[in-house]
Amino acid sequence: MNTLVFSPFIKLCLALHLLAVLLLCWQPAWWPGLLGLLVLLHGLIALLGLLPRSTLLGPNLTRLPPSAIRRGEVAITIDDGPDPAVTPAVLDILRQYQVKATFFCIGERAVHYPELVRQAAQEGHAVENHGQRHRKHTSLFGLAGWRREVGEGQATLQAITGRAPQFFRPIAGLRNPLLEPVLQQLGVFLASWTRRGYDTRVRDPALVYARLTRQLAAGDILLLHDGNAARMADGTPVILQVLPRLLEELSRRQLQAVTLPQACSPAPAAAKRAS
């Protein structure tokens, strides 16, 4: 249970560190060059942590599995909630179109608005883990920090919905190599996205919609926000203008919106791990 299992890329990096130590013992005069190579290696690791869709730090669900693609499925994921000013309207739209979505909820917000989280779960939407505190420095966490952020989020959402989340998405998808071992220990899978509309910053619904639907295809994981949603000039959250158009476009293209657990049952193919 406590064994740390790293991705093949990270194992390679560890092996290169060991090789550098051996070379340093053999040829101490090489230390400037070896140090420079290790700095470059750590820079590469840091860069990969800033790329939400990278798979080199560990399994990462960026698209739905082939079985879901064959069924013509896509997943709408909605982050940063619950928000009492936005989430109820989002749920109303989804109910009107008879569509299920995946809500990546922040634990601290879920504690304040448990009825919204419970309502989403009762209406057939998936409630997944977006971290307990959603702090911007989460990508700098060590093992203990990730265990708190992910583990407390799991406990909070399970207490509210009666179901343990299957997926975790860090803030902005940012992470480091120590997240994957924690996810393995907790039995949770990392999920990012295929495309996003940047609807926390962009106030133009047409632009957000265009980004989400450009090359839209079966298997896509789409990212929107009910929490931290950008507002139009009249104060309307952008998601409330984009979501109906998006659902109508999915219908026109004969694509079915499903939750991540539905699409990936029994487990995300892209994230199956060797025992």
Q: 180-200, pLDDT tens digit by residue?
A: 999 999 999 999 999 999 999
| Measured distance CA(150)–CA(131) in Å, rounded | 5
User: Is 83 tagged catalytic?
Assistant: no
User: Is 92 tagged catalytic?
Assistant: no
| Measured distance CA(273)–CA(275) in Å, rounded | 6
| Measured distance CA(192)–CA(63) in Å, rounded | 8
Residues 80, 130, 225, 226: which is the catalytic one?
225
CB of 121 within 8 A of CB of 110? no
Query: pLDDT at residue 211 above 60?
Result: yes
Residues 79, 83, 220, 226: which is the catalytic one?
79
Query: pLDDT at residue 14 above 70?
Result: yes
For residue 261, give both structure tokens. 């657990």
Q: Where are the domains of the chain?
A: 8-49, 66-266
CB of 68 within 8 A of CB of 258? yes
- What is the percent of the chain with per-residue pLDDT over 90, rounded to a whole number? 76
pLDDT value, residue 45: 77
Work out the pLDDT band at 266, boundaries 50, 70, 90. confident
DSSP assignments along the chain, one per residue: -------HHHHHHHHHHHHHHHHHHH-GGGHHHHHHHHHHHHHHHHHHHT-TT--TTS--B-S--HHHHHTTEEEEEEEEE--TTTHHHHHHHHHHHT---EEEE-HHHHHH-HHHHHHHHHTT-EEEE--SS--TTGGG--HHHHHHHHHHHHHHHHHHHSS--SEE--GGG---TTHHHHHHHHT-EEB--SEE--TTT---HHHHHHHHHTT--TT-EEEEESTT--B-TTS-BHHHHHHHHHHHHHHHTT-EEE-HHHHHTTS-GGG----
Mean confidence (pLDDT) of the chain: 92
pLDDT value, residue 42: 82
CATH superfamily of 66-266: Glycoside hydrolase/deacetylase (3.20.20.370)
For residue 182, give both structure tokens. 């924690």
Is pTM beyond 0.75 here?
yes
Which region among 39-48, 79-88, 195-204 has the lowest average model confidence (pLDDT)?
Answer: 39-48
pLDDT value, residue 268: 58
Which region among 32-36, 205-209, 238-242 has the lowest average model confidence (pLDDT)?
Answer: 32-36
